[in-house]
Amino acid sequence: MNPSTLLFLVAGLGLIGWLVGRARATRFVATGAARRHSLPGQHGVYVAIWTIVPPLLFLLAWSILSPQLVTQAVMREPAAMALPDFGFERAAALAEARVLADDPTRGAFNPVAEELAPAMRSAQNFYGWIGAIAAIALAFAGGAFAFTRVKPAFRARNRVERSVMVLLLVASLIAILTTLGIFLSLLWESLRFFSIVSPIDFLFGTHWSPQVISATDPGASLGAVPLFWGTFFIGAVIAMIVAIPFGLMSAIYLTQYARPAVRSWMKPILEILAGVPTVVYGYFAALTVAPAIRDLAVSLGYTYASSDSALAAGLVMGVMIIPFVSSMADDSLAAVPQAMRDGSLAMGATKSETISKVLVPAALPGVVAGVLLAVSRAIGETMIVVMAASGAANITLNPFESTTTVTKQIVDLLTGEAEFDSPKTLAAFALGLTLFVVTLLLNIVALTVVKRYREAYE
């Protein structure tokens, strides 16, 4: 049975369970039964949970187990037994047979795979129907069990609330485990890299040239300081020079000067910038901003100015993160107690003096937190620097010169043709781990600042 059809069937059975459980609980109300603990809808949800959750858990486990059973069934075929026990040939034949089983109209490159396709299709259908029948049986059994417990004094509300609490716990654990899995995968590959290259050479070396790596001293060509400087220069200097003043000034105007009618349409337009895909910003930087920056550099006397400049990528990145700074500053200014505004105005201060000497200092922790979050967003940006920044690893203070970033180098290293175990490829994981740690620290600092700010004014 098709998995989507089976899921739709299980959902339908859950809906039926909800209707049946609710109808039975409604009869208690109609007959005037005493000691009704829960509402009819809560009884219906309880029956629906028992109808849906057990088959879904079984299907999740079956989706992991059934491919192994299918492979074991196919390997009993004479054509499969002739394949080597280990190696690429066996895995390739089974993979192609699986593709042919799903789509018989496709051509086969391996004759063995074409012979195994019917057996693969038959085994998939057999174990698919076993899983479907077992899931439906579990749905009926769970629904029947829950239906028998629907009584006036049954605490269905408590069971449903507990189920929702478990669901929320699982959702938060998924987020935590996903982050932990990303960190561990980066850490494992980074440890393999640092077993080849010294961490001192990588973190403090000033020469980055992964195209030419010495077999005796690979760390001499993998010094990441130019990448760290380029990331800091583009994402934390140039971008912030654009984002902080424009974001803060837009927040001050929208909260203090703009009329409600103006704010109602200006704020959504400003926040649209946060929803524009980064690849669009990359095209804008590469096709519009970069040539204009190059022409400006030539007019200022830089004869050999390049389009791949730090200034082009930084300017567009700053425009992209203006909504982050503006939104946090907006919330911070709005959270300042009205009594502070009124007290300043009552003492004779003008509106501009109140903003500059009372509101902004009071909202500064929230503004700083917004800036830190914007910096972490900027240093992790990929598409803009891939399309507008250069691949040249330079340490320079000249914004018209070419420089590169950590994220661009990760893309270049992982899209090349080098072997996975080579220092060149493993360097991408070390760069990713460094960027992950820096971004995590920035977010922790920003959240700490926000927490202290809320404790002061809530």
CA–CA–CA angle 293, 298, 299 (5° rounding): 95
The pLDDT of residue 394 is: 84
**Three-state SS for 208?**
strand
Question: Distance between CA atoms of 191 and 201, rounded to whole angstroms?
Answer: 14
DSSP conformational letter for 286:
I
DSSP conformational letter for 219:
G
All residues at 6 or more sequence positions from 151 whose CB lies less than 8 Å from its CB, including other chains: 28
**What's the half-sphere exposure (Cβ side, CA atoms, 13 Å) at 317?**
34
* Whether the Cβ atoms of residue 195 and residue 219 lie closer than 8 Å to each other: no
Question: Distance between CA atoms of 77 and 82, rounded to whole angstroms?
Answer: 9
Q: Is 430 exposed, middle or buried (0-12, 13-18, 19+ CB in 10 A)?
A: buried
Question: Distance between CA atoms of 205 and 224, rounded to whole angstroms?
Answer: 6
pLDDT < 50: residue spans in the chain: 458
**Residue whose tokens read 């039975």:** 24
Question: Distance between CA atoms of 117 and 126, rounded to whole angstroms?
Answer: 14
Instruction: State the sign of the Cα–Cα–Cα–Cα dihedral 331, 332, 335, 336.
Output: negative
All residues at 6 or more sequence positions from 347 whose CB lies less than 8 Å from its CB, including other chains: none
In angstroms, the Cα distances linking 31 to 25, 34, 45 are 10, 9, 21
The pLDDT of residue 359 is: 87
The pLDDT of residue 352 is: 87
Of 200, 231, 215, which is closest to residue 424 (Cα–Cα)? Answer: 215
- What is the token pair recorded at 9? 């069937």
The pLDDT of residue 87 is: 55
Number of CB atoms found within 10 A of residue 86's CB: 8
N- to C-terminal Cα separation, the chain: 56
- What is the token pair recorded at 213? 């790596």
**Three-state SS for 148?**
helix
All residues at 6 or more sequence positions from 400 whose CB lies less than 8 Å from its CB, including other chains: 293, 297, 300, 302, 305, 309, 310, 311
The pLDDT of residue 105 is: 67
The pLDDT of residue 141 is: 93
All residues at 6 or more sequence positions from 384 whose CB lies less than 8 Å from its CB, including other chains: 278, 281, 282, 285, 313, 316, 317, 320
Query: 115-134 burial by CB neighbour count: b if 16+ within 10 A, else e?
Result: bbbebbbebbeebbeebbee
The pLDDT of residue 241 is: 92
The pLDDT of residue 37 is: 74
Instruction: State the sign of the Cα–Cα–Cα–Cα dihedral 273, 274, 276, 278.
Output: positive
**Three-state SS for 352?**
helix
Question: Distance between CA atoms of 76 and 62, rounded to whole angstroms?
Answer: 21
- pLDDT tens, residue by residue, 283-316: 898 888 888 988 888 888 877 777 888 888 899 9
